Amino acid sequence: MIVLLYLGKGRRLELPSLKRRIEKICAGHVHVEMNDLDRALKEMASEGLVLLQDGVVQLTERGVRLGEEWRKLLLKKDPVIEVVAGLADGSVTGLVVVLSAFIAGLATSAAAFAAFLTLTSVAITNFSSFMLGGITEDLADMINLRALMDYSLSDIPDKAERDKSLALVKHLFTVLHKEIGRSSLQAAAICGTTTFLAGIMPIMAYLTLPSPLDIVLSLSLVAAIVGVFLVRYRSKKTRVHWKVTLFETIVIVAIAVLASLLLGGSA
């Protein structure tokens, strides 16, 4: 797993350097024998995961794909939910602000103040939610995954090998624990930025353009964000037909906007 996570696409490393990297990851608590590393790499080579040539190791295409899957699972490197939440929340907020300002007939200065305050609060809320929630969720996943790996390694009959493998897993997850905070901060930044950008575009169009071009272009921008970017992104990631994704997205956004307008009108 360490080899798959550390060696990226096209990266080549000599065996002594790889051994030093693994020992550095383990913070010197576990000594890695060259024979153990050679045996592990030969097993990976037989499975088509690495290429060994002249003392240099490199991932195959299959190894790169498997490493990416582990990276996505352990470090959440594919920000699917962050982008989806940002586009959805930003477009809904922008649409609600534009419709509210249009229906109420607010002046430009009042509409700008309310729009900036609302959108900023939503973006900051998304940032803090993904920051705190991401760390909590990732740590819970790490605990469950480590428990499964410890249980799997406990079947090794040789006690010395079993203890060494368990120690490697322990220090691997210590390193991953440090990466979780970084990945959670990145996820929070992606969600907050996406939320603000998706909401500010229709709002700025409504505030700066003359009537009736302002409301027409604002609604067109929201439709483009929801119908093109959000639907296309969700369809690509979930591998569901875009028509199904479009219907789901329209229903969810319509319910969210109507609920916001009704609650705002009754307040």
Q: How many CA atoms lie within 13 A of 166 on its CB side?
A: 16
Instruction: Tell me which residues of the chain have a pLDDT lower than 70.
Output: 1-2, 5-6, 8-10, 23-34, 36, 72-79, 134, 138-139, 141-142, 144-146, 148-156, 159-179, 264-267
Q: Which amino acid is at 129?
A: S
Alpha-carbon gap, residue 26 to 157, rounded angstroms: 23
Tokens of 219: 């609604």
Contact criterion met (CB below 8 Å) for 191 and 130? yes
pLDDT at res. 201:
92
Contact criterion met (CB below 8 Å) for 246 and 227? yes
pLDDT at res. 171:
63
pTM of the model as a whole: 0.65
Q: In 3D, which of 2, 183, 172, 235 has the Cα closest to residue 75?
A: 183
pLDDT at res. 161:
65
Q: In 3D, which of 224, 266, 264 has the Cα closest to residue 114?
A: 264
pLDDT at res. 176:
67
- CA quadruple 189, 193, 194, 199: dihedral sign: positive
Contact criterion met (CB below 8 Å) for 79 and 187? yes
pLDDT at res. 146:
66
| Domains annotated on the chain, with CATH | 2-69 (1.10.10.10), 79-266 (no CATH)
Torsion of the alpha carbons at 234, 237, 239 and 241, rounded to the nearest 10: 20
